[in-house]
A and B are shown apart, each in its own frame.
Chain A
Amino acid sequence: MDTDAPHSMGTTIIGVTYNGGVVLGADSRTSTGVYVANRASDKITQLTDNVYVCRSGSAADSQIVSDYVRYFLHQHTIQLGQPATVKVAANLVRLLAYNNKNLLQTGLIVGGWDKYEGGKIYGIPLGGTIIEQPFAIGGSGSSYLYGFFDQAWKEGMTKDEAEQLVVKAVSLAIARDGASGGVVRTVIINSEGVTRNFYPGDKLPLWHEELEPQFSLLDIPSSPGPEPMNI
């Protein structure tokens, strides 16, 4: 096991707008090569009171970018005298991503709520393109979700519909992407504030070929087990 391999978040990250705000979601696996370095990471990071970012790719790169953007936004908020807008936050992330494109390997989804534009999601993939979207998916697990979202996404969802969609999607990606796993975390941002939710493995739906977990083999009711050995 190579402890010196760069820590990478295989990851599944999602950001979805709904009627009134945004829901951000992510898995919680951070891997170092094939070892899971952290099985309960928090990939949804705060930039300001009203703007959060979902991080994917290199853990180090995404952490340092969000740290710098948080620092810049803090100053910007003081100078502006009111909360920063989601667009400004996203553009600061874009500047770092674009101007350091040769060095960074991180894809980010910036989401939040401000009084001017309401809930907004901005995707910032490798290279530093900025693209405003009604929903965004990222990370290695997102490959398995393009078809799902093409079919399941609709405009004007409620907060609960949006959150259920995100949880279902991350859970589907975890089922097929080895680099995603652990728990599903969601962050809901709207005019009322921010709500963090936590969905451990046993609260998630089961998919194809997955079995209901049980404490032990001995819990299987009444099926004739193997004969005990006679000494």
Chain B
Amino acid sequence: MNMVDSAQPFKTLLGPESDSQRTQYPYVTGTSVVGVKYKDGILMASDMGASYGSTLRYKSVERMKPIGKHSLLGASGEISDFQEILHYLDELILYDNMWDDGNSLGPKEVHSYLTRVMYNRRNKFNPFWNSLVLGGVKNGQKYLGTVSMIGVHFEDSHVATGFGNHLARPILREEWNENMSYEDGVKLLEKCMRVLLYRDRSAVNKIQIAKITEEGVTISRPYALKTFWEFNAFKNPTVGAEGSW
């Protein structure tokens, strides 16, 4: 009797099937991530929501995670795929550490790795259903990039995923500048997150802001934003036009 055969169930069950054609659909999804460069490094913001279709099902999901010493990854889209990507990156960082050569993967390299992973999966019609934001600082060099589920990738001074592209980036185009302080950056990101909270129905009022500098990564505790509803036009929307809304 061949002892190796008893390992087969493990391979075929714990590993993917060999389908010839496959693409998926997302089930549990996170919404926008917004990232900006600032004076000392990168600031990134996201909410802690994960939706299941139209239900706001989970409200304490961390969608930004540190990668190694120099990088921070934020993700929107299918959360199970994000968790799988984090497993892949754990392995990448582990092997990098095992070289024990004093060198460590910087954000540019991690971004490049993620791009290859995302594009290759897309080519096999089995994408990771995510949009990723990768930011970091190494040797004083700030880096901020993004990769989509089909492998589209680029770097910029400010990036966003999903709704953030439509609502946050125009704000950033007007108000971002290279030499923002930490306080300026946080206020700007909060402005973007507030607009997303008003206008993105998958947004949840529990956000985190992450900072990465040469010193390392800090992810803030979760907190909620104040919102403003006291416009006269909101209190009396149908004045002069009864029956409208």
Contact = CB atoms under 8 A, between A and B. Distances in A.
A129 B17 contact: no
Contacts of B78: 127, 129
16 contacts: A94-B80, A96-B13, A98-B80, A98-B83, A98-B84, A100-B17, A101-B24, A125-B52, A127-B26, A127-B28, A129-B50, A129-B78, A130-B83, A131-B58, A133-B58, A143-B55
Contacts of B55: 143, 146
Nearest to B82: A129
A183 B136 CA distance: 54
B114 interface: no
Nearest to B14: A95
| Most central of A101, A123, A146 by chain B CB within 10 Å | A101
Contacts of A127: 26-28, 78-80
Interface in B118-151: none
A129 B87 CA distance: 13
Interface string A123-145: 10111111101000000000100
A129 B27 contact: yes
B28 A129 contact: yes
Contact of A99 (B15, B57, B58): B15
Given A101-B24, A102-B19, A146-B55, A129 B13 contact: no
Interface string A57-72: 0000000000010001
Interface in A91-137: 94-103, 123, 125-131, 133
B22 interface: yes
B61 A131 contact: yes
Nearest to B57: A125
A68 B83 contact: no
Given A102-B22, A102-B24, A128 B13 contact: no
**Interface magnitude class on chain A:** 20 to 34
Contacts of B79: 127, 129, 131
Contacts of B17: 100, 102-103
A52 B44 CA distance: 39
Interface residues of B, number: 25
Contacts of A103: 17
B85 to A, nearest CB: 12
Nearest to A101: B24
A99 B126 CA distance: 12
B16 interface: yes
Contacts of B58: 123, 131, 133
The 10 A-B residue pairs with the shortest CB-CB distance, nearest first, are A127-B27, A129-B80, A128-B80, A129-B79, A126-B27, A127-B80, A129-B28, A95-B14, A98-B80, A99-B16
A7 B17 CA distance: 24
A60 B53 CA distance: 24
Given A102-B24, A130-B83, A68 B50 contact: no
A133 B28 CA distance: 15
Given A129-B80, A130-B83, A99 B14 contact: yes
B80 A101 contact: yes
B113 to A, nearest CB: 21
Nearest to A130: B83
Contacts of A130: 80, 83
A98 B129 CA distance: 13
Given A102-B22, A129-B79, A96 B14 contact: yes
A101 B27 CA distance: 10
B61 A125 contact: no
A130 B15 CA distance: 17
Contacts of B28: 125-127, 129
Given A98-B83, A127-B79, 8 more contacts: A99-B14, A102-B17, A123-B58, A127-B80, A129-B27, A129-B78, A131-B61, A143-B55
Contacts of A98: 80, 83-84
Contacts of A102: 17, 19, 22, 24
A176 to B, nearest CB: 16
B133 to A, nearest CB: 19
A94 B14 CA distance: 10
Contacts of A129: 27-28, 50, 78-80, 83
A95 B50 CA distance: 20
Contacts of B27: 125-127, 129
A120 to B, nearest CB: 15
A78 B28 CA distance: 35
